[in-house]
Structure 1
């Protein structure tokens, strides 16, 4: 490094994994910019003396800065040959913009190139990581790895990279049904929700979307199906109290491990981090039902509509591949009614149920907008929110 040893160790001491035993060698910056031979000898002597398993040169870009181009290339080719002779992993750190990578001789000599950048996302700055080049890995995987941008975060624990969530390989939906938990709705759906499908519950404020989701989860728990609730607006304690008022003891299932919560402030969501947290939680439990309350809150973190759709699509696909039946809720404008709703993510869902409250008549109505692969009833039915949850009237209104 061209930094002073004590200063570098002081910076690194803030990290949880800091180990004072690592060797730091400071290179004379003036010599490194003007005297290639002395710099090479200096680096070679240090490597020969320490015999490291891992070597970091940070930064690499100032080395040879004052050389003419021919000398600079010769310097890096000689340095590369010297490093190749040692059996060690070498990491070179440099400050370059993306357009400079293809012009750099260091890029040509390196086996791999990891490019890190910073991008504005509304009021938040995100960090991105790209694998520009990776020698020696399977061509199929290399193509997959180099085609993505990965969000990463830096904490006192170091780097955390959040890969995009993806469905498991070779999955297929089953042509079987699961009960939604709302009397009468299963009949409207032709026998229940399609197993491992995704359902969107859309409606104005006060239509009972949250109760719908809690009822869906509780019915699954009563039948031995573990569940996960993902929420933004309400804390787990609040949801447990809401359920208790309806006679549903969810706390018992929390204590037994059958029910878990993921609660996140929508203003602090990193989509890739959020999806990774969901994935990790599901891997540690055998969840069969997921209730995602308020996907419209994601708009606070994902302002780009295409990225929002891509996120929800990747999430629903992943849940299906893990054999999970999922239910999502979203809020629509009070001016919208059945047939007028504009739900951007509805086409991503297998089923869409619309809830509508008529203030003039003080009544609530439910209709199934779509149910993929099902001969569902298109009638509009009245429902009520009772002390036992949502119940449908048996007669058809329209």
Structure 2
């Protein structure tokens, strides 16, 4: 999408929160941008944000509307809290003044035909107002005023040149549809912005941008009562800071012994095991110990409600409420369809970059995949991005991963995410002497040595208790161990 060396050209804010960063600062001044999308996708409000931002900056703006009548556009802007009282309108919609008389209008230059020319009307308006920003919504309506495609392209190109030559930055909207392709318009403009809709979200994508690089991909576009908001995709390569790795203790000597002192900070650790085995509790134990040193953590829970999470934590001597009150812990419960994946990664960035979080826990991978809108067909791709971002920022990541077998054939992860993890802590139910017990061990640590023994794990009212290693038991990971090779 890099197309030309003109990086010295000044930038014009798009007015849409989050979208300027995708364009690396905004539109280039005195250029024409085509905003494409199906009916109802938000093109008009997208354009109104652009004009309102100019008015807020003391610029002049002109809205040439060929679709909805002027009063509807004004009501829409007010509904989203946009101040466009100083905006000039040229109403060329079917209900506009230009279409109320008996004369027939055409898009042609008046020198070419005898009928009055809309281009001439636009030229007159431009000369009177001298606008800094112009929107033509939708420019595809002009097709109905020309006899063939050649004349349409010729006149639109002439109109765009006219606007740019007067110093205007221009937005054109297009009703993108298979029945009315707009490929010709895309060739005539400097930039193309695509608004797409699918089952769970709107996205915005920049497919063309002359004169500068832009951020590629489908970025979440949200429309709310406050207006538009763009949530850019997380690009971990854009974020990095210097950091020094240390050991993050669990505060449980036997568990720290398993980990040769603790988890290495700035790495990603998976807590893997079946439901109810203690994955979340183990993660909170690391956060409790970090809180005692004044470090800040954030927990994103996808699989438990707030009441249950807090009750369980307090019952095992993890003072989650006190940690929150002291500012060393933030807990967010993420409900189904509540956030898009881009909104979620934005929240992680805000916690890390603005609030100083040193530990981020995602609890757990199944909920992450099922709850967030816009997760990739392969959710590992999104988790890899988050993991790389946390590593680059020197933040410790804890991710709980549920393995569905309670006992039986052992698998560390169900979703083949083990390569994402720098460390994997395995928690397991085992049947021994007619009762269910828990064991804990370390399957992988990239950054240091670790103890290759399994230890018994108990979760008590006093907290985690990790016992001695169990060298006499065989087949622990099958869930039904034997004593010295024989059934006990």
Tell whether the structures are fold-level matches, with TM greater than 0.5. yes
* Aligned match of 2:220: 151
**CA separation of 1:32 and 1:288: change in aligned 2, threshold 3 A:** farther
Q: Distance in 2 between matches of 1:180 and 1:98?
A: 58
Q: 1:282 is paired with a residue of what secondary structure?
A: helix
C-alpha offsets along residues 169-223 of structure 1, whole Å, 9 cap, x if unaligned? 5567755322133331221122221121111111222211121121111110012
* Aligned match of 2:398: 327
* Aligned match of 2:108: 36
Q: 1:92 is paired with a residue of what secondary structure?
A: strand
* Cα pair 1:33 1:62 within 8 Å, conserved: no
**CA separation of 1:97 and 1:183: change in aligned 2, threshold 3 A:** farther
Which residue, out of 161, 169, 182, partners 2:230?
161
C-alpha offsets along residues 114-147 of structure 1, whole Å, 9 cap, x if unaligned? 0111123xxxx3212111111222xxx34xx2x3
Instruction: Please list every run of 5 or more consecutive structure 1 residues that lacks an aligned counterpart in the other structure.
Output: none
* Cα pair 1:183 1:391 within 8 Å, conserved: no
Which residue, out of 23, 37, 41, partners 2:88?
23
Q: 1:248 is paired with a residue of what secondary structure?
A: coil
Which residue, out of 300, 317, 325, partners 1:247?
317
* Aligned match of 1:270: 340
* Cα pair 1:154 1:160 within 8 Å, conserved: yes
Q: Distance in 2 between matches of 1:338 and 1:372?
A: 25
Q: Distance in 2 between matches of 1:70 and 1:340?
A: 64
Q: Distance in 2 between matches of 1:256 and 1:18?
A: 41
* Cα pair 2:176 2:182 within 8 Å, conserved: no
2:142 matches 1:63? yes
Which residue, out of 399, 423, 427, partners 1:351?
423
Instruction: Please list every run of 5 or more consecutive structure 2 residues that lacks an aligned counterpart in the other structure.
Output: 1-64, 110-116, 474-488
Q: 2:349 is paired with a residue of what secondary structure?
A: helix
- Answer with 1 or 2: which has the greater Rg: 2
**CA separation of 1:32 and 1:240: change in aligned 2, threshold 3 A:** farther
Deviation at 1:314, TM superposition (A): 0.7
Deviation at 1:109, TM superposition (A): 2.5
Q: Distance in 2 between matches of 1:32 and 1:230?
A: 62
2:359 matches 1:257? no
* Cα pair 1:151 1:161 within 8 Å, conserved: yes
2:159 matches 1:79? yes
Deviation at 1:254, TM superposition (A): 2.0
Deviation at 1:233, TM superposition (A): 3.2
Which residue, out of 302, 321, 339, partners 2:410?
339
**CA separation of 1:327 and 1:21: change in aligned 2, threshold 3 A:** same
**What's the RMSD between the two structures over aligned residues?**
2.6
* Aligned match of 1:92: 172
* Cα pair 1:226 1:259 within 8 Å, conserved: yes
Calculate the TM-score normalised by the size of structure 1: 0.88
**CA separation of 1:50 and 1:208: change in aligned 2, threshold 3 A:** same
Q: 2:86 is paired with a residue of what secondary structure?
A: coil
Q: Distance in 1 between matches of 2:91 and 2:373?
A: 43
* Aligned match of 1:129: 204
Q: Distance in 2 between matches of 1:201 and 1:150?
A: 30
Deviates more, 1:305-314 or 1:163-172: 163-172
C-alpha offsets along residues 343-363 of structure 1, whole Å, 9 cap, x if unaligned? 212221111112112254321
2:456 matches 1:382? yes
Deviation at 1:235, TM superposition (A): 4.4
**CA separation of 1:395 and 1:58: change in aligned 2, threshold 3 A:** same
Deviation at 1:329, TM superposition (A): 0.9
Map 1:219-234 → 2, pairs under 5 A: 219-234=289-304
Deviation at 1:92, TM superposition (A): 0.7
**CA separation of 1:118 and 1:102: change in aligned 2, threshold 3 A:** same
* Cα pair 1:34 1:67 within 8 Å, conserved: no
2:284 matches 1:209? no
Calculate the TM-score normalised by the size of structure 2: 0.73
